[in-house]
Amino acid sequence: MTANPQTDASPSQLSITEHDLIADLQQTVARLQARLAELERPPGQWLPLKTAAHTCGIEYERCRTWAAAGLIEARREGRRWLVNVVSLRARLTALGIAHRERE
């Protein structure tokens, strides 16, 4: 019985082409994992900035600063800022800031 050189090779014996293939596959896996995380994220709930800040129980100015800096998902529509409340809640949770939900 003859040995199969491709299955019996140690990692140090892999060719450059095989290393490239493995690196490409790892990059593909990372891209797919990022895309999956994006698809599993809850849909956005867009509210005016002041309403979003009030809803999450934080100061308006803090929320405005985060929106302007791109630290939370926000967009301008004319003169108004709209904030994705899901993004705001995630930021508060990541920072360990207790937020209280208001109606």
Q: What is the pLDDT of residue 19?
A: 86
pLDDT tens for each residue of the chain, 103 residues long: 455 555 555 656 677 788 889 999 999 999 999 888 877 776 778 999 999 999 999 999 999 999 999 999 999 999 999 999 999 999 999 998 876 666 5
Q: What is the pTM of this model?
A: 0.56
Q: What is the pLDDT of residue 97?
A: 84
- Please report where in the chains the tokens 């891209």 appear, as a residue: 31
Distance separating alpha carbons of residues 58 and 95, to the nearest angstrom: 13
Mark residue 4 as left, alpha or beta (left: phi above 0; alpha: psi -120 to 50; beta: remaining): beta
Q: How far is CA 3 from the centre of its chain?
A: 46
Distance separating alpha carbons of residues 88 and 59, to the nearest angstrom: 12
